[in-house]
Structure 1
Amino acid sequence: MKLKMLPTKYIRAIYLHRTNMVTQATHKPSISAILLDATTFLENNQAEQALALLNNAIALSPQSARLHAKKGFTLAGLKRFEEALICYNQALELDSHDTETHFKRANALKMLKQYPLAISGYQQVIQLDNKHAKAWFNLGVVYQLSQQLDLAVKSYKKAISINHNYPEAHNNLGNLLKNLNYLDEAIACYKLAIAQKPMAETCYNLANVYTQLQAPEAAERAYRQAITLRADYADAYNNLAVLYLSLNRQQDAIAACQRALQVRPDHAGAHNNLGNMYKQLHRNAEAWQHYQLAIKHDANFADAYNNGGLLLQAQFRANEAISYFSRAIALKPDHAEAYYNRSNQFRDQRDLTRALDDIKRAVTLAPHDINYISTLLYTKMQACEWESIETTFNHVNQLILQGGAAGPFVLIATPAGAAIQQQCACNYAQKKLPVVAPLTNAHTQYQHARIRLGYFSADLHNHATTYLMAELFEKHDKSKFELYAFSFGPSVEDEMRKRVRSAFDHFYDVRDHTEAQIAQLALALEIDIAIDLKGYTKEARPGIFAYRPAPVQVNYLGYPGTMGTPHLHYIIADPVLIPEQARQHYTEKVAYMPNSYQVNDRHRKIADTYDTRADHGLPENTFVYCCFNNNYKITPDAFDVWMQILTQVKNSVLWLFEANLAATHNLSNTAKKYGISSDRIIYAPKKPLAEHLARYRHADLVLDTFHYNAHTTTSDALWVGAPVLTCLGKTFAGSVAASLLTAHGVPELITQSVKSYQETAIDLALSTQKLAKIRNKIINNRDSHPLFDTTLYTKHLEALYIQMYKRHQNHLAPDHLVINS
């Protein structure tokens, strides 16, 4: 009779009795009795006593295969697999047909990761017993570990054909099919396994597949079932948290992560995920704490270093961010996202050479990721590295047409037309913006004494947008409008911040708020019209408007294109920017300003300097062509025309803004290929605004870029009196200079073709009287034309706001609006 769970004193008595009998060789017990006693010891967690008993028995009966096999099994239980293997080999020398010993020997080889020998071992078992389901199952495991996946599938299926009620085999086959991306088949396997034997691990695996298939309700049920079966299943809680986060159920996500850490405080993945959640909530101190705990519990956790780097990057701690990204890459050299993030940081620091190296590496590692590929395009544009740039551009376009969600701003400075720009914006809005219930709707109406305007921006400080808008904020009619600022940019008290703060009735610093919290604040304040000044530009928060915090929402000034989403009802434009036939490429209704869409500030100061051209590295008595646009706006087609112009106008130079050293190097090298010496390409470093404006006095003619015009820089030049030559484009961004020149009364500087642009640039350089006449006209028009008439502009914009407001109050849907001059 088999003994089980005997009291310790009886087990001890058996041990002494049997050992003495074996040692003294008197009344020698049977091998079966020894094996039975050894089993009793093992069942009572006394493997060492079992081992001593077996060693003594083997000393008396060295030819017993059963004793050697039992010793091997006992050693395997102690994880002494190499010693176990010796015992199994000795047993098989004595009895080569013992199927179970062959099976256990193969198991030991599997545990020693000697996979080829383990495979051979299981095959020997199957030769002896073709119906050995466990051997087929373990053979499948080893094939899977050896990446022989087709053979693994066949082995699992064979095990199941022998024993259909084999939940472990169904589960493992499901895992394998999941990894092979046969997700429906994997689900069927998991369901069979659960029906036969509900196991927490199988429910967890099923939930992971449902998550991959974006079936959140089914995934949640499966995770919950796994947790019911195993209350301390930290991995299930952790993945459930990630699922909740994807559903924008942030509090549920945090609770699930916290539960994972309650049952397993050293769960590095849960700490990392909780850090991500707190980061989204702008609870940065808590996020940082959990990233550090993740690293503490797993010093090789590359993702935790990467996410910590992102937090540091958001806090403008550039060098520390680079250090964290670099550590992530050192730990995981194929970490594409870490290369991507480090590239962005290098680009922000204007180190375009290293930025390009990193983003190229990210694309190599993830060649189908549209985010990486579009960022490669943008980085090449910033560095003016044009080798194979057309191929990259075409690749991005192709991915967008296939539904890819690239950041829409990337396309603005490219030859992409308005239709593809709209497609890009729509893809991005659909896939990246939160899907939430709107806070307001067509029936939400407020009754205020004044219309409440909410301006949302990250740029309410010394920034190009605020340089344009400051006077508008000051000139708004406060008897009709109540102004609210929602600032989610850096908290700085510079000159422009102080100025615009005093212009608003209410100024809210919401940089540490989530998009949902900002939207809720705007709702509580009963904002009538919410105005997005960022669009898809850097530090934008477009998700705010997905919540629809105001009944009327407007895309204005900051982003020169459509937002591609119904959340924004209007876009402020003018007839030059969006002619009637182009409206189809905008999801917003167009609210037309009668002159230019762009506001200007007449208080912009021009430094009273007495510098000379030589002070800027410019030769005297030379015609100075100028372009102070950011370098990424300079495209190969525009630069080609500029080089043709310099070739034709011998006594001329090209004065460019120096955005970064890589662009400077690449532009100068490209010019040499046209035979233009490096001393004819001169670069202007960044300067304070007043000094920057003053140096326009030394420019004879400003040459505009093609696809993304000079916007603020056109106004800057005209404010100083410098002529700007443009070629009318077919997109919003490519038509802004024409809009500004029209409003300023100098349409002769607007050309309709590249050929005309080039001819005009040459003609004006050779016709000094004609150019002087245009320059005088520009200066004289400052006080007589609408471009710099901020008071008139404000009245027109307010008239549009009133029309928007009245349409909504009258239960009319948004429609195109026109204000007559």
Structure 2
Amino acid sequence: MHGLGVVAYQTGQYAVALAYFTRACSLRPMSGAFHSNFGLASQALGQVDQAVTAFRRATELLPDAAEAHFNLGNALKEQRSVADARTSYLRALELDPNHTRAHNNLGNLFRDQGELDAAERSLRRAVELEPAYPDSLANLGNVLWDRGQLDEAERYCRDAIRAKPDYAAAWTNLGNVLRSQKRWAESESAYRRALELQPELAEIHGNLGAVLLDQGRLDEAIGFFRRAVELRPERSEAHSVLGNALLTGGQIEEGDACYRRAVELQPESSRALSAALHWRQYRPDVTLASLAADHAEWDARYGRPARTARPQTVHPSAANGRPLRVGFVSADFGRHPVGYFCVRALEALDPREVEVVCYSTSRRNDDLTARFKRAAARWYDAGPMSDDALAGQIAADGIDILFDLAGHTAANRLSVFARKPAPVQITWIGSEGTTGLSAMDFILADERLIPTGVDAHYREKVLRLPDVYVCYEPPAGAPAVGPLPVRSRGGVTFGSFNNPAKIHAGVVAVWASILRRVADSRLVLKYRCLGDHGTRDRYLKMFAEHGVGADRLEFEDWSPHAEMLARYNTIDIALDPFPFVGGATTCEALWMGVPVITRPGETFAGRHSLSYLTAIGATETVARGLDDYVELAVGWAEDLDRLASVRADLRPRIEASPLCDGRQFAAQLTSALRDVANL
């Protein structure tokens, strides 16, 4: 019976094998080998609980058999009994220190738990024991990718492929590493090879879509994302990724529907709802009241339940006599809008008053990252840490005040803040308004961003700085401001370099009205994916419905930062979208001498430009409503002398304003922090 079961198992006839093994175990119930094979057949059929029971019996009968403990570890891991799985793998290695697969699987388990040092040790040992074992090579490449050691990660992925050329997972891993290096074409090629090997694997379709999106090939990307949804319609993440792509192309209704479906499929996932909340900021019908209600749902589902596990904290009033210990949690300590808006502030904080601790949750590492590291008294590469581990570290560090720099954006760690690891918690910059968290004490703003009278729509108490809520780092190496373009081009050029997710049908209608009013004018739209034919055609159709032809419009894709800034030397007037206005985009236009016409909205995301323009004393381009927005744009287009004068004046005005004054901002921030510490 047992021999027949082995033959059936080896030929993939798992149900037949299980029947034979069942009979064999009944005949010889004290055979550990029989129980072990019964467990293998059960596991192959997806009967994991039954497999665990069988493997436990096998280890009782064969306590010194490393393979029995290894098999039990695999089943326990599949059962998500992580601690028990670890114990079983470690026992297998005690019995056989050279068990390559046990080192490999233990390394993967460590990686899943964010223990990258232990994972790397286990996987390097597996590679030492069996240098051509493709699984260990590929898995070590994954861990090195997690750690940002991309060159070495690439080498191990390629070694895995050399050991097993048809190894789809290794090709996928290689694509991930190459994508992280921004080697788009090579990454695409690796993913396409993986797809040839496993054409029905949804994950590969999603990865290929992602690298096409990186290259601005939006319609192609959407096709692969749709296929991923077809293959795994029950997978929440597939719907989220498709939603993101649709919204990136300005297809708001369908994109929002995808996110709603993602939340339905994975109601236990805080990230699915966070993503949906983030994208709701872009809807033209968004209101402060609706956002408050939507964000309260996140707290009810995920925030309040996590508070029961929060570490004990001490109120920062206990910090009298020493600097306030202030922590910042972000994935964007670098060349990113969040980085541009806070690096000067952190650098200018007096270490005698404020001790800065940074918890970086990404692999980001550039010249601006280096400045953050120098500004910090302590720096943690916290990306691999679980929410519990990161919350525990923050509590152990004795952080007095903890800043969230993400809100509900993709890389947020709001589940850490929900655990309340610090006595005072503040959301700032990366957030687009309320987080909804009862554990978040304050939101940092100014009077323009959150005017007096709307505080009730924010779960947090509003902490207003007197001048402006951010401190801007102008782009290093930006080209000089050129002469007014209209004087050499013969017609006014309007421009918007904003995310097309912000450019809905209502925005197009208003911009088309401006173009019809200003003879010989044109509009340049520039952002990632706007060079994509499908995206361009959708916008051409929308403008055509309002009487504006393709000859009045230019669409451009992403370009390197310096090139993008130089493009402003061909733009006379920038048009801000609504209700989600520009952030860093507005500041960059102003820095390049281009006035920005803006209509402040009701929401936090609709008032950034007002805050910046007020700080630099340039509110003459702030509209009172949409009719006024059109009139302002037309009026500025007709006054070339004023345009030329403002163009020459904007950069020095910004440089001398509170928007860029790091010392003044740091002093105001320190005063505000001292106030909340003593409440």
User: TM-score normalised by the shorter chain: which range applies?
Assistant: 0.7 to 0.9
Distance 1:77 1:612, change over 3 A: closer
Taking CA–CA contacts closer than 8 Å with sequence separation of 6 or more, which of the two structures ends up with the larger relative contact order?
A: 2
CA contact 1:604–1:690 (8 Å) conserved in 2? no
Indicate conservation of the 8 Å contact 1:566/1:587, yes or no. Answer: yes
Q: Of residues 249, 272, 277 in structure 1, which corresponds to 2:110? A: 277
Aligned equivalents of 2:226, 2:103: Cα separation in 1? 31
Cα deviation for residue 478 of structure 1 reads 3.2
1:644 to 513, 534, 537: 513
Unpaired runs of 5+ in structure 1?
A: 1-41, 46-75, 80-107, 116-137, 146-155, 157-166, 172-197, 213-217, 808-821
CA contact under 8 A between 1:241 and 1:257: conserved in structure 2? no
Q: Deviations over 1:749-788 (max 9, x none)?
A: 3335444433443344345577678779967864786444
How has the CA–CA distance of structure 1 residues 661 and 725 changed in structure 2, closer, same or farther, with 3 Å as cutoff? closer
The one-character-per-residue Cα deviations of 1:355-412 (angstroms, maximum 9, x if unpaired) are: 222211112223344422232122123345x4xx523423534664784724424444
- The match for 1:371 among 233, 237, 248 is 237
Q: Is 1:451 equivalent to 2:284 in the alignment?
A: no
The answer for the alignment partner of 1:238 in structure 2 is 74
Query: Offset at 1:704?
Result: 0.8
Show the counterpart of 1:554. Answer: 426
Equivalent pairs, count: 617
Match of 1:508 among 379, 400, 403: 379
Q: How many Å separate the matches in 1 of 2:184 and 2:613?
A: 40
Aligned to 2:202: 336
Q: Which digits, 9 at most, give the CA deviation of each residue in 1:670-724, with x for residues without a partner?
A: 3256154444323567666667556545433211121431111222233444321
Q: Spell out, residue by residue over 1:793-813, the C-alpha distance to the aligned partner (whole angstroms, 9 max, x if none).
A: 323222221122223xxxxxx
Q: Aligned partners of 1:776, 1:450: CA distance in 2, in Å?
A: 43
Q: Which amino acid aligns with 2:330?
A: S
- Over 3 Å counting, the alpha-carbon distance change for 1:375 and 1:747 in structure 2 is same
Q: 1:464 to 1:363 in 2, by over 3 A?
A: same
Cα deviation 1:63-104 (Å, max 9, x = unaligned): xxxxxxxxxxxxx8997xxxxxxxxxxxxxxxxxxxxxxxxx
What residue identity is the alignment partner of 1:460?
A: F
SS in 1 for 2:246: helix
Match of 2:524 in 1: 655
Q: Does 1:680 align with 2:552?
A: yes
Letter aligned with residue 244 of structure 2: Y
Indicate how the Cα distance of structure 1 residues 533 and 391 shifts in structure 2: closer, same or farther if over 3 A, else same.
closer
1:382 partnered with 2:253: no
Asked whether the 8 Å contact 2:222–2:242 carries over to 1, the reply is: yes
**Match for residue 529 of structure 1 among 401, 412, 424:** 401
Report the alpha carbon displacement of residue 725 of structure 1 after superposing the two structures with TM.
1.7
| Inter-CA distance 755–424: structure 2 relative to 1 (3 Å threshold) | farther
1:3 maps to none
Q: Is the 8 A contact 1:625 1:652 kept in 2?
A: yes
Partners of 1:111 and 1:220 in 2: how far apart?
20
Aligned pairs for 1:18-417 within 5 A: 228=60, 232=68, 234-244=70-80, 253-257=85-89, 271=104, 274-275=107-108, 277-278=110-111, 280-283=114-117, 285=120, 290-292=135-137, 322=188, 325-326=191-192, 328-384=194-250, 386=251, 389-397=252-260, 400=263, 403=267, 405-408=272-275, 409-415=278-284, 416=286, 417=290
The answer to whether the 8 A contact 1:281-1:514 is kept is: yes
Question: What secondary structure, in the 3-state scheme, does the structure 2 residue paired with 1:751 have?
Answer: coil
Contact 1:624 1:653 in 2 (8 A): yes
Alignment match, 1:163: none
Using a 3 Å threshold, how does the CA distance of structure 1 residues 366 and 687 change in structure 2: closer, same or farther? Answer: closer
* Unpaired runs of at least 5, structure 2: 26-33, 128-134, 140-159
Contact 1:282/1:512 (8 A) holds in 2? no
Residues 307 and 474 of structure 1: is their aligned pair in 2 closer, same or farther, counting only changes over 3 Å? closer
- Counterpart selection for 2:535 from 651, 658, 666: 666
Structure 2: how far apart are the matches of 1:595 and 1:471? 16
Kindly name which structure, 1 or 2, has the bigger radius of gyration based on alpha carbons: 1
1:418 aligns with 2:251: no
Q: What is the percent sequence identity of the aligned residues?
A: 26
TM-aligned CA distance change 1:551 to 1:168, over 3 Å: same
Distance 1:257 1:446, change over 3 A: farther
* Partner secondary structure for residue 110 of structure 2: helix
Structure 1 residues 329, 740: CA separation in 2 closer, same or farther (over 3 Å shift)?
A: same
1:467 to 327, 337, 340: 340
Whole-Å separation in 2 of the counterparts to 1:229 and 1:543: 44
Deviation at 1:748, TM superposition (A): 4.7
The code of the aligned residue for 2:206 comes to: Y
CA contact (8 A) 2:573 2:595 kept: yes
Aligned partner of 1:598 among 435, 449, 470: 470
In structure 2, C-alpha distance between the alignment counterparts of 1:619 and 1:777, rounded to whole Å = 20
Report the residue type matching 1:237 in the other structure.
Answer: G
CA drift of 1:282 comes to 3.2
Matched, 1:710 2:582: yes
| Counterpart-to-counterpart distance in 1, 2:554 and 2:445 | 35
**Which of 624, 627, 632 is the equivalent residue of 2:496?**
627
Asked if 1 retains the 8 angstrom alpha-carbon contact of 2:616 and 2:658, the reply is yes
The Cα shift of 1:464 comes to 3.1
Distance 1:374 1:766, change over 3 A: farther
CA distance in 1, matches of 2:247, 2:444: 28
The whole-number CA distance in structure 1 between the counterparts of 2:394 and 2:569 is 44
Q: Normalization by structure 1: what TM-score?
A: 0.61
Matched, 1:806 2:639: no
Q: SS of the counterpart of 2:605?
A: coil
**1:572 offset after TM fit, Å?**
1.4
- Could you list the per-position Cα deviations for residues 316-364 of structure 1 after superposition, in whole angstroms to 9, with x for gaps in the alignment? 6766765664455444433222322332233234443432222111122
Q: 1:646 offset after TM fit, Å?
A: 1.8
Moved more, 541-550 or 674-683: 541-550
